[in-house]
């Protein structure tokens, strides 16, 4: 409601309509080539296109138009929307190697490229002759017209390998290098890794007589990841163009920060998975510690420099905790199943550094 004065909601629904349309289209196509035994080459591209349109019309002569409109140019119409086009192109090579059915090794190497384009429009005008004429070309007075467009890219290379012995001992590791257009030259690339190991004790000979144990697996991992979720072009110093005293003028619009880079997270996790009594009782126990460094934040600065904030890597925080989950099938027949499930978490979050 644009005004504190009341009026019939039924009249508003009829004479102040607002319509929104969203159409989302997505698809994926891929090709697989197996030139030699155990080697698979794959290339895929995924496409996602979204269009959004909105119309809002305050019809001439409506009650709301009488409250907030212009008597000399009745009626007000707003059209706005956006289009987003995103594609991901990836290429991988995977090799599986088995030795004497006891040793299994998997190698995966790949490249991935992501690009997104985004554009918007906004139109507003007033002065409409009739209730049913709501397109912008029927107005007498244009009020506002604007468009914008932007894009971003992410280029990545990655490698992963995994090994297991008799499905009892597992170890895997990965490395990836990501480059984001949201950071400046010299700061765009981030290197991230992970290492993990697991041991399925239920397959050891010393537990062979424990028939009630279906699974008992210990696992641990350490890894790093990156965050680049910021508006586009946050590191660049910008000038913006606009009217000043009926003339075209430019003025500083964004403060430069050439040192802006990835926010990085390091996570250490250890846990236990188990299944007992013909998998009627299952559960997991996890303990974890995560550290985020170089947090991406919009930091307030003194308005005397001409700006109110700047995007920076600010400080660090830690997140530690324990998670426990249990599930029990009290009744499990071909006709009925009764399951009890519960989980509990203990978490502590602390800011450790502010810079």
Determine the pLDDT at residue 144: 93
Determine the pLDDT at residue 168: 92
- Which residues, other chains included, contact 269 with Cβ-Cβ below 8 Å and sequence gap of 6+? 220, 221, 222, 286, 287, 288, 289
DSSP 323-349: EEEEEEEEEE-SS-EEEEEEEEEEEEE
Determine the pLDDT at residue 243: 80
Q: What's the number of CA atoms in the CB half-sphere (13 Å) around residue 319?
A: 10
Rounded Cα–Cα distance for residues 266 and 291 (Å): 5
What tokens appear for 130 in the block? 């009739």
Could you read off the pLDDT tens digit of each residue along the chain, which spans 355 residues? 556 667 888 998 999 999 999 999 999 999 999 999 999 999 999 999 999 999 999 999 999 999 889 999 999 999 999 999 999 999 999 999 998 889 999 999 999 999 999 999 999 999 999 888 899 999 999 999 999 999 999 999 999 999 999 989 999 999 999 999 999 999 999 999 999 999 999 888 888 788 888 889 999 999 999 999 989 999 998 888 888 888 889 988 888 899 999 999 999 999 999 999 988 999 999 999 999 999 998 888 888 877 888 899 989 999 999 999 999 999 888 889 999 999 999 999 999 988 7
Determine the pLDDT at residue 101: 84
Determine the pLDDT at residue 182: 94
Determine the pLDDT at residue 309: 87
**Cβ 99 vs Cβ 163: under 8 Å:** no
Rounded Cα–Cα distance for residues 220 and 7 (Å): 63
Rounded Cα–Cα distance for residues 291 and 117 (Å): 32
């Amino acid at each position: 409601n644009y005004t504190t004065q009341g009026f019939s909601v039924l009249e508003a629904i009829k004479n102040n309509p607002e319509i929104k349309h969203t159409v989302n289209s997505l698809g994926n196509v891929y090709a697989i080539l197996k030139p030699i035994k155990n080697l698979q080459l794959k290339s895929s591209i995924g496409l996602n296109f979204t269009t959004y349109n909105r119309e809002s019309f305050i019809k001439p002569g409506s009650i709301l138009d009488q409250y907030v409109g212009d008597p000399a140019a009745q009626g007000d119409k707003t059209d706005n929307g956006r289009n987003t086009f995103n594609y991901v192109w990836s290429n991988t090579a995977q090799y599986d190697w088995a030795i004497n059915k006891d040793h299994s090794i998997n190698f995966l190497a790949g490249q991935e490229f992501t690009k997104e384009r985004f554009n918007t429009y906004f139109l507003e005008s007033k002065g409409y002759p009739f209730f049913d004429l709501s397109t912008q070309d029927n107005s007498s007075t244009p009020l506002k017209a604007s468009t914008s467009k932007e894009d971003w890219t992410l280029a990545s290379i990655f490698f992963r390998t995994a090994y297991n012995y008799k499905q009892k001992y597992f170890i895997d590791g990965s490395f990836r290098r990501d480059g984001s257009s949201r950071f400046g030259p010299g700061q765009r690339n981030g290197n991230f890794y992970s290492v993990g190991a697991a041991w399925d004790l239920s397959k050891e000979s010393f537990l062979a007589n424990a028939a009630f144990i279906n699974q008992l697996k210990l696992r641990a991992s350490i890894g790093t990841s990156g965050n680049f979720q910021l508006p586009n072009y946050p590191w660049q110093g910008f000038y913006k163009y606009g009217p000043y005293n009926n003339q075209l003028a430019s003025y500083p619009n964004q403060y430069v920060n050439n040192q802006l880079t990835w926010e990085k997270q390091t996570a250490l996790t250890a846990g236990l998975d188990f299944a007992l009594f013909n998998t009627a009782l299952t559960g997991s126990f996890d303990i974890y510690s995560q550290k985020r460094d170089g947090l991406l934040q919009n930091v307030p600065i003194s308005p005397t420099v001409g700006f109110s904030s700047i995007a920076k890597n600010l400080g660090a925080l830690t997140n530690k905790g324990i998670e426990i989950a249990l599930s029990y099938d009290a009744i499990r027949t071909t006709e009925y199943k009764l399951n009890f499930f519960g989980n509990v978490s203990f978490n502590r979050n602390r800011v450790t550094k502010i810079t």
